[in-house]
Amino acid sequence: MPRVRLSPLVEEIHGTLYDVVFKKSPKGNMIVTKRPDMSKVKWSKAQKDQRQRMAKASKYAKAAMADPKVRAKYEKRAIRENKRPYYVALSDYFKGKDLLLRKSKSPRSPRQERGNNGKS
């Protein structure tokens, strides 16, 4: 993979410029890619279902990060697991470990919401 070292004039670049996408990896490396053309993609039912599950997981993770007590728990675990707190929360949602529901003592869990024990 080619590496580019930019002068101190440009320290960081991210976003899209025409059909080129600039982004930073979690380790801090610069990634430059071509913008994908998804206009002709036909999503399968399984892909649509997974996208819905991911949207729910993302909504949960955002809510967990907004709650100071839950966020503190995820930050502590994230340090131990060498991950970001948001991603630990996403993982917990898919495993059925919902700290927000435990806090509010709601009877339903994300696993029950998906039905069929989380299997598609």
Domain boundaries, the chain: 45-114
Bridge partners of 17, per DSSP, are 20
Label residue 43 by pLDDT band (50, 70, 90).
Answer: very high
Q: What does the pLDDT read at residue 4?
A: 64
The pTM score is 0.59
When pLDDT is averaged across residues 85-105 and rounded to a whole number, the result is 85
Q: Which single residue is written with the structure tokens 């039905």?
A: 115
Q: Give me 45's structure tokens.
A: 């039912």
Inform me whether the pLDDT recorded for 120 exceeds 50: no
When pLDDT is averaged across residues 11-26 and rounded to a whole number, the result is 84
- 99 contacts 69 by C-beta, under 8 angstroms: no
Of 7-21, 41-55, 59-73, give the lowest mean pLDDT range: 7-21
Q: What does the pLDDT read at residue 99?
A: 84
Strand, helix or coil at 16? strand
Inform me whether the pLDDT recorded for 42 exceeds 80: yes
